[in-house]
Amino acid sequence: MSHFAFVNLQGTVEKVIVAEQDVIDSGLFGPSSSWIQTSYNTYGGVHYGPDRNPDSGIPLRKNYAAVGYTYDLVRDAFIAPQPYPSWYLDEQTCLWEPPVPHPNDGKMYEWDEATLSWIEVSPPPAAAE
C-alpha cells in the first residue's frame, strides 16, 4: 500500500489516502492524473526509517502531503502553507524557514511577526492529578 494525495487543478491537496497503485489507476476515486504518490517517511527531502533516523530510502516529493499543502510540479514537491509572510522557502528542503534561526537553548518560543523575532513563552502548567 502507498499514500496518495488528491491534488486539484489549482495544485492544492484536498485529501490523502492509502491505496494500491492499481486502485488509483482504475479511476475509482477520480482521474488518476490527480493522484500523486507521497511518503510519510519523507521530510525536508530526507527519507527516515521507523527509528526516525535518516536512512538509505529514497525521499519522495520533499515532504509528506497534507490537506491544504500545495503540490509544486516544477519542484516535484509538496509544500506546506507559508506560516508567516517573512518566512522564506528553502529550495533544497521545500520547508519554510524563519528569517532568524530558532533559538536552540531548550526553552519554548513563538514567532512574533511584528518584531521578526522569537519570543520566549512559558510552558503550560502541569495538569493536576
Residue 84 lies in a domain: yes
Q: Work out the average pLDDT over 112-118.
A: 98
The residue range of the domain holding 8 is 2-121
**pLDDT at residue number 90:** 98
Residue 25 lies in a domain: yes
Q: Which amino acid is at 30?
A: G
Residue 60 lies in a domain: yes
- Report how far residue 85's alpha carbon sits from residue 75's, in angstroms, rounded to the nearest whole number: 21
Residue 126 lies in a domain: no
| 45-81 pLDDT tens trace | 999 999 999 999 999 999 999 999 999 999 999 999 9
**pLDDT at residue number 129:** 67
Residue 78 lies in a domain: yes
At 98, list the grid cell.
524563519
Residue 127 lies in a domain: no
- Report how far residue 76's alpha carbon sits from residue 19's, in angstroms, rounded to the nearest whole number: 21
> Among the residues of the chain, which ranges form H helices?
21-26
| Sign of the torsion angle spanned by Cα atoms 3, 8, 11, 12 | negative
Residue 55 lies in a domain: yes
Average pLDDT value for the chain = 95
| Sign of the torsion angle spanned by Cα atoms 8, 11, 15, 20 | positive
Residue 128 lies in a domain: no
> Per the structure, how many domains does the chain have?
1
